[in-house]
Amino acid sequence: MISEIDYSNYIPEDVLEEIREYEEEVKGRRRRRKNYPTSKVIVETVKEAALSVRGIHPHDFPSIVLQILRDRGYDVEYVTIKRIWRIYEKLVRSGVIPDTLRVVEGE
């Protein structure tokens, strides 16, 4: 079994105290990372946004989806506009939501 080493015999007490204070200070500064949204969360958000916002320009739709995710506390750094449109198109083609933005061909 490994026993804990008592560094007070090797390191002066004032230096040890400075190290402890620094570690506490650094621990207090660390921020929690925001969660990245799962695919399920993005799909639900796209459905919600598509059903709630009517009469907007399709160019504005991805920014609305991203804003909803941000408001819910998600980190949207890796959520791309292409992914949002791919999900929207898949939901429209599978009949889950209507094409309220009129951007899917053949529907």
CB 36 within 8 A of CB 75: yes
**pLDDT digit string, tens, across residues 66-97:** 999 999 999 999 999 999 999 999 999 999 99
As beta bridge partners, residue 35 has 74
Where do the H-state alpha helices sit in the chain?
A: 13-29, 39-52, 61-71, 81-93
Least confident of 22-26, 52-56, 100-104: 22-26
- Residue 32's pLDDT is 64
C-alpha distances in Å from residue 26, one per residue of 15, 29, 30, 70: 17, 5, 7, 27
CA distance 75 to 87: 18
